[in-house]
Amino acid sequence: MRRLEDLDVNGKRVLVRVDFNVPLDAQRNVTSDARIEAALPTLRFLRDRGARLVLMSHLGRPKGGVDEKLRMLPVAERLQELTGWPVRAASEIVGPLVQDLALSLEEGEVLMLENLRFDPREEEGDADFGRELAALGDVFVQDAFGTCHRAHASVARIPEHLPSAPGLLLAKELDSFAKVLEAPERPFVAILGGAKVSDKLPVLENLLPRVDRLIIGGAMAYTFLKAQGLPTGKSLVEDELIDEARRVLREAEATGKVLALPSDHIVADEFRADSPHAVVERIPDGKLALDIGPATRARFAELLADAKTVLWNGPMGVFEMEAFRKGTEAVALAVAKCSGFRCVGGGDSVAALELLGLDDQVDHVSTGGGASLELLEGKVLPGVAALEASSR
């Protein structure tokens, strides 16, 4: 795949797909700059080489029509505040007016297109819409990892018409997951958590042959514990996946892989932040487990201590509630202490790291939950496939 530095951008209009799907408050002020800041290294790289930038992103879920609350103007204004660059916001996505704005860009100027999802053709992956977008630039850079798993027009169609390459953010994402999935240093330990086995079963199947140790926590662990014949009380269990869980357990045993499950639990009567809770080894009837217990935390930390590659996707409990956060915190601290390469993906894991102030203590924090899951499942992302095809 062509790299960013291979593109000739001097004096060119560079069309950049960014992920500026940022949160806005009631006054339409941007409340988190994280996604904007994540794109800045690529944008600076291009501007420093004489590019004229045309940026495009979606914002929210406008359902294929104009939603005044989801216009890109506040995002363009915030980008200008953060960088000091002259940023113009187009009131449309494509068409003669936008074409004139793109053609009139001076060196160092930035144009931000209107919300891509105001046009239903974006999510349809429409070829004509992709062609109209491509007409606004001379070169295309894809830097929105969080949308690369969707075959939308701005993701999969533009590379059919322009020299294309991944931006620095996307390249870092792909390189980091390749390091984990294709050439991991060993021991390789994967930690999977979250609510449902059904969400992670393809990931489990793809990772199990690759890892040395697999740690399973969160609510998804209770389907596996029930598959082992252990009591789970009122804990979340996907009964229709009991047989699949047994199959994964058998495969781990047959291939000599360590598959670690919780041995003690923090249980409560109800799914409530103030619900009285206790530590148990066996979950009583009428109780539900909302976090891993202290013995499990210690065991999981021990399994991570000498890891040379760590992949973490999913919390160990209901970390949003302080009473049920200690398991996720213990795993986060153990991951941070590892000397190996540490890659964290999935929105909840990233949110937990940020909440605990540990997001700068790991090597890679992924910016795309759905896209990272599909990479971990072994899928080829449509946005990446389009860049590869463009490079041939």
pLDDT for residue 188? 98
CA distance 214 to 252: 9
Q: Which amino acid belongs to residue 196?
A: K
pLDDT for residue 357? 87
| Cis peptide upstream of residue 163 (ω within 30 degrees of 0) | no
47 flagged as catalytic: no
314 flagged as catalytic: no
pLDDT for residue 9? 96
CB 48 within 8 A of CB 55: no
pLDDT for residue 8? 95
pLDDT for residue 294? 98
35 flagged as catalytic: yes
Q: Residues 130, 137, 167, 347: which is the catalytic one?
A: 347
**How do the pLDDT tens digits run along the chain, 392 residues long?**
999 999 999 999 999 999 999 999 999 999 999 899 999 999 999 999 999 999 999 999 998 899 999 999 999 999 999 999 999 999 999 999 999 999 999 988 999 999 999 999 999 999 999 999 999 999 999 999 999 999 999 999 999 999 999 999 999 999 999 999 999 999 999 999 988 899 899 999 999 999 999 999 999 999 999 999 999 999 999 999 999 999 999 999 999 999 999 999 999 999 999 999 999 999 999 999 999 999 999 999 999 999 999 999 999 999 999 999 999 999 999 999 999 999 998 768 888 888 888 888 899 999 888 899 999 999 999 999 999 999 88
125 flagged as catalytic: no
User: Furthest-apart CA pair in the chain: how many Å?
Assistant: 70
CA distances to 140, 143, 201, 259, 378 from 148, in Å:
14, 9, 21, 31, 14
pTM (global) more than 0.85: yes
CA distance 295 to 236: 21
Q: Residues 12, 13, 17, 35: which is the catalytic one?
A: 35
pLDDT for residue 333? 93
List b or e across 46-82, with b for residues whose CB sees 16 or more CB atoms inside 10 angstroms. bbebebbbbbbbbbeebeeeeeeebbbebbbbbbbee
pLDDT for residue 195? 85
Q: Residues 179, 196, 247, 379: which is the catalytic one?
A: 196
CA distances to 192, 331, 345, 346 from 315, in Å:
8, 9, 11, 9
